[in-house]
Amino acid sequence: MKNFVAYNPTSVYFGKGVVNQLGEVVSKLGLKVLLIYGKGSIKKNGVYNDIQSQLKQINAKVWEYEGIKSNPIVEDVDAAAKMGIENQIDVIIAAGGGSVIDSAKIIAVCIANKSKGWDVMKNKITISGAIPLIGILTLAATGTEMNPVAVVQNHETEEKIGFGHPSMFPKHSFLDPQYTASVPANYTSYGIVDLIAHSLENYFGDGDATLTDRFVGAIIQEAIEYGPKLMNDLTNYEYRSKIMWAATNALNGVTGNGRVTGDWGVHGLGHVLSLLYDVPHGASLSIIYPAWLKFHLPLIPERIALLGKYVFNINSPEETITRFELLFKQLGSPVRLSELKIPNINNEEIIRVWIKNKAQGAYFKFKPEDYTTLLQAFE
């Protein structure tokens, strides 16, 4: 096992009605609150009212930044940070899914360091800290609620990249599975794919970490048992809670301890599809992962076979890949890009931006000719 540091200071409040404790938690951090959210779905499903009611009880002063996009852009980060700096915000509450909480992490750093979002993302500043961030999760998928990483995109530079810093752990996150009950089928499915993909990206990382491998197996088994059940019963609290907690664990350290890094090749490749064609993140992963596994089969057959043992209790690496592809299909997520019926797909454009984004995993450094092979396997 390689040397590593295990550290995760986020406190997660999990379960029905946990947002009832939000006011008390916020009051310990300060009363000038910046509330960040997306396109307003939290106003329809009651989450917004629950938060405002808690903030009213403690007489907090609240500024709001609405409209974070589902593939979040750096312009929103800078605009929200400006609002936070001007009003000397004490604490950020980010209510939404990965895009909102990811944006809020960079906003929290920008406010504390009076910096620009893209300078943070490109690691151009020395970060002295971040203002405290509280996540209210409304989509089970990215795991951002309990890790220090954010993904943001920049159309000007044609980049969608990740950045992490220890100051970016949310201080607290509130996970009420009821808040995910209104997520529609397609995004529920993408979220389950995302948690499976995070487990896989970590599994294919650098280092011999057997307990961590077993945890990956456990998380994916949980998704296999409860994912399809949830897809057939979208408002079932128990199934929502199983998937929500599995998604958090897929990327809170449990699947990474003992490895230097995950692979993250499929995420890098998928981010470019999102950047160019606004492909939902989870959909990009279910499209690319089977192709990625087929591409790597001759290179790491034993590793793929061991995954099959932990997840499906089978020994064949080929069968393991088939099972994952079937699983994604069963969840209702696409496994070929053509299923999305995007007009004017341009393969040369995809490859050009893959190269520009250095979309390579830790294990296999793609070359331009490999990109073509890979693309043909999922187009």
Site string for a second copy, 223-252 (x = CB under 8 A): --xx-----------x--xx--xx--x---
The closest alpha carbon to 266, from 216, 310, 202, 218, belongs to 202
The closest alpha carbon to 371, from 355, 356, 362, 361, belongs to 355
The closest alpha carbon to 364, from 282, 264, 254, belongs to 264
Q: Shortest Cβ distance from residue 205 to a second copy (Å)? A: 16
Site for a second copy in 8-27 (CB under 8 A): 8-18
Contact call for residue 102 and a second copy (CB under 8 A): no
Contact call for residue 258 and a second copy (CB under 8 A): yes
Q: Shortest Cβ distance from residue 16 to a second copy (Å)? A: 6
Site for a second copy in 122-161 (CB under 8 A): 146
Q: Shortest Cβ distance from residue 288 to a second copy (Å)? A: 26
Q: Which is nearer to a second copy, 51 or 223 (CB)?
A: 223
- The H or E element that residue 212 is part of is helix 210-231
Q: Which is nearer to a second copy, 238 or 278 (CB)?
A: 238
The radius of gyration of the chain's CA atoms, rounded to the nearest angstrom, is 20
Read off the amino acid at residue 221.
Answer: Q
The only residue of 218, 234, 314, 355 in contact with a second copy, by rule CB under 8 A:
218
Q: Which is nearer to a second copy, 103 or 248 (CB)?
A: 248
Gap between the Cα atoms of 59 and 36, Å rounded: 18
Provide φ and ψ at 76, rounded to 5°. -65, -40
Q: Which is nearer to a second copy, 103 or 178 (CB)?
A: 178
Contact call for residue 2 and a second copy (CB under 8 A): yes
Contact call for residue 178 and a second copy (CB under 8 A): no
Site for a second copy in 314-373 (CB under 8 A): none
Three-point CA angle 256, 71, 14, nearest 5°: 50
Q: Shortest Cβ distance from residue 211 to a second copy (Å)? A: 5
Contact call for residue 260 and a second copy (CB under 8 A): no
Can you spell out the DSSP letters for 265-308? Answer: HHHHHHHHHHHHH---HHHHHHHHHHHHHHHHTTT-HHHHHHHH
Gap between the Cα atoms of 49 and 43, Å rounded: 7
Gap between the Cα atoms of 355 and 350, Å rounded: 9
The only residue of 108, 254, 288, 337 in contact with a second copy, by rule CB under 8 A:
254
Contact call for residue 257 and a second copy (CB under 8 A): yes
The only residue of 185, 211, 326, 342 in contact with a second copy, by rule CB under 8 A:
211
Read off the amino acid at residue 309.
Answer: K
The DSSP letter of residue 315 is -
Residues within the interface to a second copy (CB under 8 A): 1-18, 146, 208, 210-211, 214-215, 217-219, 221-222, 225-226, 238, 241-242, 245-246, 249, 254, 257-258, 313
